[in-house]
């Protein structure tokens, strides 16, 4: 019996371990609890690559992005960034730099995602072909608030509830059309941080995944929203097309370092804004459960 005890103990350990593992990986049936955990895993990059908001979390993401949570998370990230910035000894040679991403960092594309339903497919299957065509054209160029003037709906987000709860993949063409409108509002917390950094003496660079042909629209949008006096707006050139964002942004940061700039801070909503090489002394991740860019 004594010789069989180690084997029995091993089997008991395996049984207990298996039982614990199964209980640990059981996902909550409560949508809000699960989706809050999903968003946490997105922000910590535990999820890795993903291309759609889970269908059960679409309404949660909508509520988060349009509610106090998103605003508060952005403000807290900005406050920590400013706290660090105030500890940097500015040399006065113009080489103390801070890098900002643009989309979902300086500018918010929430109006675009509102008409695209935060992952919803906005086209009811019951629409006729002619009606569907009209709605496609309408939602491509109007905010959800403007839509309510044309469709019987008592509140903007009740309109979303009328449509199918299906997650929608990113559509580059429609997003480019939105960028050309130059109507993305500033993220107030980032605008406040931007102005504080300028007053502290930082040289500010904007490093975005937008393409060079969108420069004029991007500059116009930034200026309309209160951003000014940046050192350089860096966009993807033709040679950058097809590069993963992490590589493209790392290469551009390295160019800045080779020019003698000391990159103290970097603010972005994607891990690909912050990872790679030639990284900043401190990086600050803004919340974004809408999309992922590798």
Q: Map the chain to HEC letters.
A: CCCCHHHHHHHHHHHHHHHHHHHHCCCCCCHHHHHHHHHHHHHCCCCCCCCCCCHHHHHHHHHHHHCHHHHHHHHHHHHHHHHHHCCCCCCCCCCEEEEECCECCCECCHHHHHHCHHHCECCCCCCCHHHHHHHHHHHHHCCHHHHCCCCCCCCHHHHHHCCECCCCCCCHHHHHHHHHHCCCCECHHHHHHHHHHHHHCCEEEEEEEEEHHHHHHHHHHHHHCCCCCCCEEEEECHHHCCCCHHHHHHHHHHHHHHCCCEEEEEEECCHHHHCCCCCCCEEEECCCCCCCCC
**Out of 91-95, 135-139, 217-221, 234-238, least confident range:** 135-139
**Out of 69-83, 131-145, 276-290, least confident range:** 131-145
Mean pLDDT (whole number) for 265-294: 97
Domains of the chain: 70-108+185-285 (3.40.50.1000), 112-180 (no CATH)
Mean pLDDT (whole number) for 115-129: 46
Q: Is the pLDDT of residue 168 over 60?
A: no
**Out of 15-29, 40-54, 111-125, 139-153, least confident range:** 139-153
Q: Is the pLDDT of residue 142 over 50?
A: no
Q: Is the pLDDT of residue 35 over 50?
A: yes
Share of the chain above pLDDT 70, in %: 72
**Out of 60-74, 79-93, 157-171, 219-233, least confident range:** 157-171
**pLDDT tens, 212-233?**
999 999 999 999 999 999 999 9
Q: Is the pLDDT of residue 132 over 90?
A: no
């Amino acid at each position: 019996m004594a010789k069989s005890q180690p084997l029995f103990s091993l089997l008991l350990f395996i049984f207990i371990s298996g039982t614990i593992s199964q209980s640990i990986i059981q996902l909550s049936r409560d949508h809000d609890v699960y989706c809050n955990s999903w968003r946490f895993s997105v922000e910590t990059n535990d999820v890795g690559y993903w291309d759609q908001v889970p269908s059960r979390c679409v309404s949660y993401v909508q509520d988060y992005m349009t509610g106090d949570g998103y605003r508060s998370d952005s403000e807290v990230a900005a406050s920590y960034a400013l706290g660090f910035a105030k500890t940097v000894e500015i040399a006065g040679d113009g080489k103390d730099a801070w890098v900002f991403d643009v989309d979902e960092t300086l500018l918010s594309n929430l109006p675009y995602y509102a008409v695209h339903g935060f992952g919803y497919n906005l086209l009811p299957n019951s629409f006729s072909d002619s009606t569907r065509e009209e709605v496609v054209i309408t939602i491509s160029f109007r905010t959800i608030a403007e839509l309510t003037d044309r469709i019987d709906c008592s509140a903007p987000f009740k309109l979303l509830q009328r449509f199918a709860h299906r997650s929608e993949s990113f559509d580059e063409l429609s997003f480019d059309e939105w960028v050309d409108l130059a109507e993305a509002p500033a993220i107030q917390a980032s605008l406040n941080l931007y102005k504080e950094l300028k007053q502290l003496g930082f040289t500010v660079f904007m490093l975005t995944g937008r393409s060079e042909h969108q420069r004029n629209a991007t500059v116009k949008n930034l200026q309309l929203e209160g951003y000014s006096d940046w050192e350089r707006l860096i966009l993807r050139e033709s040679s950058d097309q097809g590069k993963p964002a992490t590589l493209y942004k790392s290469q551009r940061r390295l160019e800045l370092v080779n020019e003698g700039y000391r990159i103290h801070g970097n603010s972005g909503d994607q891990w690909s804004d912050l990872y790679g090489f030639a990284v900043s002394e401190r990086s600050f991740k803004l919340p974004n459960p809408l999309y992922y860019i590798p």
